[in-house]
Amino acid sequence: MIKQTSKDLDNTYLITFIVPTFNVQSKIEDNIASISEFMIGLEDKTELIIVDDGSTDDTVPVAKKALKHSGLACQLITCQHAGVSHARNVGLEKAQGSYVMFVDSDDTILSLNRNEILKLLDDRVDIVMCDVIGKEAVNLTLTDQHRVELYETLVHMTTDWIDTGIHSKFYRRELLAAQAITFDVKLRMGEDLLFNFKAIQKASSITFSSLNIYKLCDSSSMFRFDKSNLDNELHFNHELCNVLEKYHDISKSRDVKNKLTITGALFLLDRYFSPEIAEKKISFNNASHDFKKILVINQYLPTLKLNKYDAYLSRRERLMRQLLGRQKITMALALSIIIDRIKRVKR
């Protein structure tokens, strides 16, 4: 592990920006420049930690050069390839800022509302969420009812909107450290949402703001097949249930769980079993048998029979939910493959 330090890191900073990188040589310079611009004039209050996840291109030398000109206290840490969650956790271990903000390496920070956003950190609130639509509150003391309602918003079940991921959010570092809140390295999808659920569960206060701070790079990776998608979904579902169990007396928590159970089953349909069939790695009969067994053992089927959550699903998702709920597994698999071919979607 290589570390590059441009300032004395015994200081305490207002914000630590943690940026995991992997083969982003063409984008990391803009990323670092946007963070530098956001904190211009406040360099002594800023820490930037780049954690490279085993890049095979010129990401590291490009990042080194950009960091030298950033004017920020910085660390560049290189690791063997172990995934974005591991890289973020490494950054968390090294962070010394009062607040931590995670920035993906192909995204940028917007400076237009810098001063107003930094004022939101004055109250020592546990979590500050920006780019919020609808909700507005400063230093709100969280109750369990608030937490469940926030979970609803994060999974897009309300008219308010908050990014599901960790983007646009500041987390008080002492909260994360005291509660041992880290990213689940067993997940390659859903890790951001689970991190948010756990942070909200342990947080005492929160601020919501409509101020814009984050420019997200479009990504199609969520549509792709990966052999780990099955284990990912089952593990995510298990961890999600553990978090929501605390709120079992609040009916909306069951709605959140049921909605994510349905979308989890649809995820397995479209991003695991259907691609396996399309690539001729498994037969229709075997896929149907295995998929049904998973839906039964992991108790997806009772929820898939409910039409209560169709309002949160697309037309395609509603149709697939109905077929799976009726245990027409083979038909759902075949239809998923046909629709993907018609729309030329590559998994």
The predicted-structure confidence for 250-264, as pLDDT tens digits, reads as follows 999 999 999 999 999
- pLDDT at position 7 is 41
Q: How far is CA 327 from CA 21, 230, 270, in A?
A: 42, 19, 16
Distance CA 221, CA 346 (A): 10
- Which letter does DSSP use for residue 311 in this model? G
Average pLDDT value for residue range 118-139? 94
- pLDDT at position 217 is 83
Going by C-alpha positions, the residue among 109, 11, 2 that lies closest to residue 50 is 2
39-48 burial code (b ≥16 CB/10 A, e <16): beeebebbbb
Whether the predicted pLDDT of 166 surpasses 90: yes
- pLDDT at position 219 is 61
The 10s digit of each residue's pLDDT in 268-324 is 999 999 999 999 999 999 999 999 999 999 999 999 999 999 999 999 999 999 999
Going by C-alpha positions, the residue among 313, 310, 319 that lies closest to residue 338 is 319
- Which letter does DSSP use for residue 48 in this model? E
The 10s digit of each residue's pLDDT in 35-71 is 999 999 999 999 999 999 999 999 999 999 999 999 9
Going by C-alpha positions, the residue among 285, 187, 293 that lies closest to residue 231 is 187
Query: CA 219, 221, 223 angle in degrees (round to 5)?
Result: 110
The 10s digit of each residue's pLDDT in 333-346 is 999 999 999 988 88
- pLDDT at position 9 is 41
Amino acid at 2: I
Whether the predicted pLDDT of 164 surpasses 90: yes
Distance CA 140, CA 143 (A): 9
Distance CA 171, CA 61 (A): 29
Amino acid at 198: K
- pLDDT at position 2 is 41
Task: Tell me the pLDDT band of 12, cut-offs 50, 70 and 90.
Answer: confident
Going by C-alpha positions, the residue among 208, 97, 91, 222 that lies closest to residue 149 is 208
Whether the predicted pLDDT of 1 surpasses 80: no
Task: Tell me the pLDDT band of 222, cut-offs 50, 70 and 90.
Answer: low
The DSSP bridge partners found for residue 127 are: 171, 206
Phi/psi class of residue 316: alpha, beta or left (left: φ > 0; alpha: ψ in -120 to 50)? Answer: alpha
313 contacts 262 by C-beta, under 8 angstroms: yes
Rounded mean pLDDT of the chain?
A: 94
